[in-house]
Structure 1
Amino acid sequence: MIVYSEVSAFTQTPGQGNRAGVVLDAAALSEAEMRELAAFVGAPETVFVTRMGGGRVRVRYFTPTQEVEFCGHATLALGLMLAQAGHWHGETLELETLAGRVPLRLVSEAGVPSQIWMRQQRPQTRPLPLSLRAELAEALGIDSRTIHRGLPLAAASTGLWSAFVPLLDPLILDALEPDFAHVEALCGALEVGSVYAYAPMGVNRFAARDFAPGLGIPEDPVTGSAGGALMALLAQEGRLPVRAGRACGVIYQGHALGTPGEVEVEVEMLGNSVVAVHVGGCAALEREGTWTRQPEPGR
């Protein structure tokens, strides 16, 4: 019997934000079993701990259909479960992921975990040709004139690549009717995991929706990895105010699915260069369950 948890990430309310599966003891599971368990849990991503000790935790992430290098909301969920299970009391902790090492920081209030922060990978960015506006708009079900000309249209990653498409207004964002087959084809052509549409709500506040049908996630409710990459991209392009070497912002996501969540981001800057990206938020345990391993053939 394998014990797993279902955790709501980037929210304090169970059932809101983005659901993640967490398996704290996956050392004995094969890759095939991790895939099977992730499909059974059915969350956008499930994180598996394959080794723990010495201030480091080795993890793997799976969607219901495949393995991915990194997942922000599942990392947040894992941090909560490690703290609640007594494996983490706020000391230095570093995750070993396929995307690289991810340090975690725990914030507690009166001894109760309240927020988990992760330092994501150094951002990578590449421009997207402006000629793609029409095709991206068609894939999202909108007119190309509703794409914002003053915000960056680009691909970026702090662990998982996304194509970032700026829109003029959050109302346009809410009304998106994506053609998922077209979105998946674009993701393949652009070598990204998702198409992430965003719209400004203020100087450093944005609404967003993230579509990743090629990863088995038609729409991801709240996306920590893409949230960090977006804020790094905006800071690098001079679209966020910088004070004392830091640019801070909040992304609101999940409202279109009825599961709102908030992603907080701090970007460390040195001149015009991004030095580090920190993504944080709350998490809440939804439920716990068990999964029975099936005997391997021949045993």
Structure 2
Amino acid sequence: MHQIDAFTHERFKGNSAAVVPLERWLSDAQMQAVAMENNLSETAFLLREPDGAFHVRWFSPLTEIDFCGHATLASAFVLLDQGMASAPLTFRAAAVGDISVAQLDDGRLEMNFPNREPERVENPPAALLEGLSVVPRAVLRNGQAWFAVYEDEDQVRRSMPDLAALKSLAPLDVVITAPGREQDFVSRYFWPANGGDEDPVTGSIHAGLAPYWAKRLGKSSLVALQASRRSGLLYCRVEGERVFVAGHAVRYLQGTIEI
């Protein structure tokens, strides 16, 4: 097993993911037990398929997750760092199809996601508004989360949501976002029903955040900050129906699991 800090070039920043390359699948119960034992945002399990792609499954400590960006970035880092594959890489996930990952000249790894732009909601659920410490300027949603849009970065940083109220919105999570001071936009991500209180850096939600901010700011390339305590930088660009999300990664540990 490898533990990687993703969306950062500093150890102990970004979001930690465990990566477990397999020769054959473990049972669902075993994979969930490993993820629970790791107690990280996600543990990714990889199995190479005959065509060279890597089938990937992601587990939080609570459940299997349909779509995870930071653990995909971590998986790509492990495969390239260990010489197990060469770029570009293809990851295959049941819910989102194939995700390709390229290696950029500056060492960043760039993931190619489907565009998951959210749609505006005129009448958001009461539990969302009750769960947010500040009333948002606008509310949107896609298949992953509710999006609460604020006026400025300080509102996002100071937010203290009622996680019990947000948990009732399952299966959707909640992302709060605003224009950034030094970056194009900032966000924080809460997922009490699916993984934990606050996710440090969430690559997948930027498949929705980047298209929203690209239209609002009138630019296709953006730099994003996820303003959790660990924090992380994401480099996004929007090209039609695809969203590219790039970042750095750094190793924390390599070890062996006993089952």
TM-score (structure 2 length as normaliser):
0.92
* Structure 1 range deviating more: 114-123 or 32-41: 114-123
Q: Which has the greater radius of gyration?
A: 1
Cα distance in 1 for residues equivalent to 2:184 and 2:90: 29
Match in the other structure for 1:95: 91
* Letter matched to residue 201 of structure 2: V
Deviations 1:23-42 (A, max 9, x none): 01262411111101111111
* Letter matched to residue 120 of structure 2: P
* Letter matched to residue 241 of structure 1: G
* Letter matched to residue 79 of structure 2: L
For the Cα contact (< 8 Å) 1:50–1:60, is it kept in 2?
Answer: no
Match in the other structure for 1:139: 131
For the Cα contact (< 8 Å) 1:204–1:248, is it kept in 2?
Answer: no
* Structure 2: segments with no counterpart, 5+ residues: none
Q: 1:286 deviation in Å?
A: 0.7
1:239 corresponds to 2:216: yes
Percent identity, aligned pairs only, is: 29
Structure with the bigger percentage of helix: 1
1:119 corresponds to 2:112: yes
Match in the other structure for 1:154: 140
Cα distance in 2 for residues equivalent to 1:64 and 1:7: 17
Q: 1:17 to 1:204 in 2, by over 3 A?
A: closer
1:9 corresponds to 2:6: yes
1:281 corresponds to 2:258: no
Q: 1:84 to 1:251 in 2, by over 3 A?
A: same
Q: 1:138 deviation in Å?
A: 2.6
Q: 1:135 deviation in Å?
A: 4.6
What is the number of residues matched between the two proteins?
258
Q: 1:202 deviation in Å?
A: 5.2
1:38 corresponds to 2:35: yes
For the Cα contact (< 8 Å) 1:165–1:197, is it kept in 2?
Answer: yes
Match in the other structure for 1:263: 234
Cα distance in 2 for residues equivalent to 1:178 and 1:128: 20
Q: 1:130 to 1:16 in 2, by over 3 A?
A: same
Cα distance in 1 for residues equivalent to 2:90 and 2:75: 12
Q: Map 1:62-101 onto structure 2 (within 5 A).
A: 62-90=59-87, 92-98=88-94, 99-101=96-98
Give the secondary-structure state (helix, strand or coil) at the position aligned to 2:217.
coil
Give the secondary-structure state (helix, strand or coil) at the position aligned to 1:225.
coil
* Letter matched to residue 165 of structure 1: A
For the Cα contact (< 8 Å) 1:61–1:68, is it kept in 2?
Answer: yes
Cα distance in 1 for residues equivalent to 2:201 and 2:116: 19
Cα distance in 2 for residues equivalent to 1:126 and 1:260: 26
Q: Map 1:217-228 onto structure 2 (within 5 A).
A: 217-228=196-207
Match in the other structure for 1:128: 121
* Letter matched to residue 290 of structure 1: T
Match in the other structure for 1:297: none
Match in the other structure for 1:290: 256
1:54 corresponds to 2:55: no
Deviations 1:85-119 (A, max 9, x none): 102222x321110221111111245xxxx111111
Give the secondary-structure state (helix, strand or coil) at the position aligned to 2:22.
coil
Q: 1:63 to 1:69 in 2, by over 3 A?
A: same
Cα distance in 2 for residues equivalent to 1:131 and 1:260: 28
Give the secondary-structure state (helix, strand or coil) at the position aligned to 2:209.
helix
Superposed CA RMSD: 2.0
* Letter matched to residue 54 of structure 2: V
* Letter matched to residue 41 of structure 1: N
Match in the other structure for 1:18: 15
Deviations 1:106-149 (A, max 9, x none): 1245xxxx1111111232533323454x653430222x2xx235
* Letter matched to residue 13 of structure 2: Q
Cα distance in 2 for residues equivalent to 1:208 and 1:250: 12
* Letter matched to residue 258 of structure 2: T
Q: 1:285 to 1:178 in 2, by over 3 A?
A: same
For the Cα contact (< 8 Å) 2:18–2:40, is it kept in 1?
Answer: yes
Match in the other structure for 2:156: 173
* Letter matched to residue 123 of structure 1: R
